[in-house]
Amino acid sequence: MASSSTARQNQTKPENAFDEIAPYFVPKSTEPWDIFINHRGCDVKYTLATTIYDKLHSMGLHVFLDVEALEAGDCIPAEIQHAITSATLQIAIFSVNYAQSPWCLAELSFMLKTGKKIFPIFYHVDLSDLSLDGQGKGKYAYAFSEHEKKGRYKSEKLDEWKRALHESSLIPGYLVSNNEDEATVLKNIVNCAFETLKKVPLSVADHPVGLDELVQRFESVRGEEEVKIKGIVGMGGSGKTTLAKELFNRNISSFERGSFVFDVRDAASRNALADKQKKLLSDLGVDDLQFDNVDEGKVVLANRLSFHQALIVLDDVDHIDQVNALLPNKDNLGSHSMVIVTTRELDVLISWGLSLSCIYKMPELNTSNAKQLFCWHAFLQLSPPAEFEILVQEFLKVCNASFAIDKTYFNGLGKIAMASNSIKYLQDLERLVVEFRGSSLSEEFSGLQLLAYFGLYSPVLS
């Protein structure tokens, strides 16, 4: 990790349960997680939770355990919400003091709402402890009586958490009452998690506007002959990753193995490219090799990539060294493999030896698609309510519909529209958009900055 373990340990979660705060912030990265571990820190953070994390992480899986994933300065609620929402699998460790934590309970409730697969582990607790029948029995009953005495959470929220516990008790899980159970559980959950993750398609987009058309255009790109190598280039927020995930899902069944390596640029900035190398190898079925740095990883990859007919996606690279670290010899790839590289920098693909005929440039949003995308994020429907029709047209005119903007930007505009129901802010908005386009930080610009400017939310955390 980029920050020290001491810095991580010194972080404290705010008083609010994360679901009260998270909607007002954005995570530092959009890279999806494979697994989220919900747990009570004082019970299992440095024992069972860390053991599960270490084993899964060593297999190349992207696992969220707060002490490992969070860094100094992170917005904790946003990171947790993103991890839960994006994770394919969720592990809930129900321990003795679990119900004392509003954060654990809020996370659990949110996990169940996502509908993702949950592996419950009942760590020195009985299933009956999770079924709160109002008679004050069981390990968790006392914790809820304390929540009620403090009066900090409304009865509706407490009832929601009780239902989440009861629902979790009905999910087949793992009982741990001694060290032998713990070793068996660790083996079973690691095997089940890894096998399940290999079969799950990538989550593409909530509102895939114009995606089929993009796929058709991309498929017209020639690529190399035996090993098809193609590039996707476009500015941040233009939909490169969304297109790459859709292509991955549509084509993976034609290959022996597949690996989607997310956020390469971010990993390089954190000196974590070796972790990406390990993920790639793990996805290709190589789990028994260990190395400590990128140079060693390049040697391993150079020797192993030729044995597989694989679909490989390298997402968001910004330097030729990153491509070479993950694919040290593209001429040594297995025959009939396919490689897709997404980047903001055309020069990276050219330097790697790709011709322009092998590179797909992301198009700008047309007016119709921009309107649909805006309305999905602002109003959860393809067209605006009648009373917002003029306002939506004005917003899109100000922003220039052909200009690629990420979904948090649309969210911000939509919330402003719904809150104001007028065009009196358009002059200020137009100035902001001009500043946004001219800023060197434009690709990190968030709709939340718009909300803050118009006074529609106040940051809860510094």
Q: Are 248 and 258 in contact (CB under 8 A)?
A: yes
- Looking at residue 335, the DSSP 8-state letter turns out to be T
**And the tokens for 458?**
């106040």
Write the DSSP string, 88-113.
Answer: SEEEEEE-TTGGG-HHHHHHHHHHHH
Q: What type of residue sits at position 59? A: M
Q: Are 102 and 162 in contact (CB under 8 A)?
A: no
- Residue that is written with structure tokens 């929220």 in the block: 157
> How many helices (H) does the chain have, and how many strands (E)?
23, 10
Among 107, 160, 182, 246, the active-site one is 107
362: DSSP letter: P
What residues contact residue 113 under an 8 Å CB cut-off, 6+ apart? none
| Residue type at 128 in one-letter notation | S
The Cα–Cα gap between 318 and 64 comes to 25
Cβ count within 10 A of residue 133: 11
Distance CA 258, CA 285 (A): 10
Q: Comparing C-alpha atoms, which of 104, 101, 342 is closest to residue 235?
A: 342
Residue 36 · residue 111 · CB < 8 Å? yes
- Could you tell me the maximum CA-CA distance found in the chain, to the nearest angstrom? 72
* 127 CB-near residues (< 8 Å, 6+ apart): 169
Residue 145, phi then psi, degrees to nearest 5: -65, -35
Tokens 């098809």, residue located: 228
Is the separation of the CB atoms in 131 and 169 below 8 Å? yes
Number of neighbouring beta carbons within 10 Å of residue 212: 10
175 sits in which H/E element: strand 174-176
What are the Cα distances from residue 275, in Å, to 109, 285, 307, 391? 31, 15, 21, 47
Residue 130, both tokens: 């999770």
- Token couple for 357: 């005929």
Question: 160 an active-site residue?
Answer: no
- The residues carrying an active-site annotation are 107
